[in-house]
Amino acid sequence: MGISRNRGLMALVVAGLILVGCASKAPEEEVPALEPVAVAPAPVKAEVPKEPAASITGSEKVTISKGPGMGTETLDGIFYFDFDQAIVKRSGHPELDKHAKVLKENPGFRVRLEGHADERGTREYNLALGERRANGIRAYLTAQGASRTQIEVISYGEEKPAVLGAGESSWAQNRRVAIKYRR
């Protein structure tokens, strides 16, 4: 009984498909051809390009415009840290605020934060310390309004010293994060 019922249902489905396939469309109405009309082009407005708020001048520098007739300012892109610390020195906060403002106002700008350490400590420890330093700068910039998607973090540890030599004066210059701008 169940098999003959299924066969009957299948016959109805097949018949329905045949009817749908054979259905004809109503003939489409012909649309009369339109005569071409000449249209005068709209006047083009000449726009004066705005002066960019910021431009990249070097690997660690960005030049910002202070406004019409007020000149420009170049921001420093190197921030220093105390021994075995990942907290940027307070003296760098005003400059970091300016970098955050540039990133916030120029969403097309991207930066790479390159963390460095001095030669003391193991290679692994210094790589981790350089990364913590760069992440600290990233956290500061994003807290000031920069987008996290604009910021890439990399650590070189002790591999790329700014100054060769042993001693506190050399080590102090190697404990740093460099901000590298790119588009």
Please write the tens of the pLDDT for every residue from 94-133. Answer: 999 999 999 999 999 999 999 999 999 999 999 999 999 9
The domain of 123 spans: 76-182
60 has pLDDT over 70: no
Q: Is residue 101 part of a domain?
A: yes
State how many domains the chain has: 1
Q: Is residue 60 part of a domain?
A: no
Q: Which carries the bigger pLDDT value, residue 18 or residue 44? A: 18
Q: What is the DSSP string of 104-164?
A: HH-TT-EEEEEEE--SSS-HHHHHHHHHHHHHHHHHHHHHTT--GGGEEEEEEETSS-SS-
pLDDT score at 8: 64
Q: Is residue 6 part of a domain?
A: no
